[in-house]
Structures are given as structure tokens and as C-alpha cells.
Amino acid sequence: MPVNSSFPYPLYLVISEKDCLGKDFLKVAEKSILGGVDIIQLREKDASTGEFLYKALKLKEITDKYNIPLIINDHSEVTVEAGCAGIHVGNHDAAPSVLRSQQYFKDKIIGYSIEYLNQLENENTEVSDYLGISPVFSTDTKKDTITEWGLDGLSRIRSLTTKPLVAIGNVNFSNAAAIIKAGADTLAVVSAICGAENPEKAAYELKNEILK
Ligand code: TZP
Ligand code: MG
């Protein structure tokens, strides 16, 4: 697949300490970058703002070393305080249009999860840099989801927008090619890398599958 020049990050790791199942999440992140991950999102659902900021600063030392963008899930204060490359928000979080109007986010990456088709018509979609197809397949990693888009839903969204599409939800080596064929520009994974015995190898194999 050719890399999308407006979002040149075909393999996206979404990481939390918990999803690394006892492994050091900073080591998992570094190994995944060595294997070919292009962009990382820190998604800490249970952390206080202080803990989240601490983890973000630690992770940013690694992403900066490899010149990889670090995206923060939901927390705009953490994004700003840690000087991160962008933020990912869902339907119930700070609105992309509001974030975009803030000085810090003028030239930062804003990702927006699509859970309903009518979100494609609102200005939040317009101002976002990429859309999360969330989830493309149901997953144990996130249970509070609305629409399982499937390959047909992804294709439908592909036909309705030119925005870069990031597929997330049970994405793995065996369904990667089909998800790309259905229109995704980027594959985002949690367990396929965080839960792998060898995160570097898992990232390497996924990346090869995406780029082939
Ligand atoms: N948003 C939609 S599904 C999901 C998120 C954060 C979790 C994806 O996890 P996994 O383990 O790659 O299925
Ligand atoms: Mg959210």
C-alpha cells in the first residue's frame, strides 16, 4: 500500500501500561518502534492527570529519540504540558473544533473517533487530521463501543471522505491486508503488539504486511 502523504504513519501503536500485561511499557514502545511502528498514542484510562503526565513525559523521551509523534488520548492538559505531537478524542471528549481553536492545537495532530455515520458531516470531522474507524472489529480491549464497522462500514466511510482513515479494533496480522483493501490508510493496534511475546517482531511483521 502506498503511504498516505497527509498522514504518513501506516502503523499506529496505542499503548497503556495495563495492556502490556506486566511488561515494561516503555520497553514495549521502544521495541515496537524498532520493529516499524510509525506513531504512538498513550491511552491511560485509569490514571490521574499527574500519573498520565509522568508516563507521557517518560514515553516522550523514547518517541523523541526516534522522531516518532506521540499522541495523547483524551487529555488536552497532558498533551500541552508534555509538549506532545497531538491528541486523539472520541465522540464524548473535547470537540476537535474547540481544540483546533486553541493556540497549542493549531498545528498539532487531532484524531477523531467515528462511531456514527453522521459524524462525517460535522465540523469536528472537517478540522481533524485523521478519523478513527472505531472499532473496525469488536475487541476485548475496549468494550464500550457503539458500532462495529466491519469491512463494509469501513468501505462505506472510505467512499464518503478523503480524510486519512485509521482502523482500530482487533486489527492483527491476519486481517491487515483485508482492512487495507477496504480503505484504511493506517492500522492501529493495542494487543497485536502490546500483548505479543516479541513486540519488535510483531511490529515488523505487521509493518511488512501493510507495506507489501
Ligand atoms: N478504540 C476502539 S477499539 C480500541 C480502541 C482504543 C482498542 C483496540 O485494541 P485491540 O487490542 O487492538 O483490539
Ligand atoms: Mg476518548
Q: What is the pLDDT of residues 10-47, one digit of tens each?
A: 999 999 999 999 999 999 999 999 999 999 999 999 99
CATH 3.20.20.70 for the 11-210 domain, yes or no:
yes
Q: Is the peptide bond before 135 cis (omega within 30 degrees of 0)?
A: yes
Exposed e or buried b for every residue in 163-199, given b needs 16+ CB within 10 A?
bbbbbbbbbbbebbeebbebbbbbbbbbbbbbbbeeb
Q: Is 35 in the pocket of ligand 1 (CB under 6 A)?
A: no
The dihedral sign for the CA sequence 90, 4, 201, 109? negative
pLDDT at position 90 over 90 = yes
Q: Show me where the domains of the chain are located.
A: 11-210
Is residue 130 helix, strand or coil? strand
Say if ligand 1 is within 6 A of residue 63 CB: no
Query: Is the pTM for the entire model greater than 0.90?
Result: yes
Q: How confident is the model at residue 2 (pLDDT cuts 50, 70, 90)?
A: confident
User: Catalytic: 5?
Assistant: no
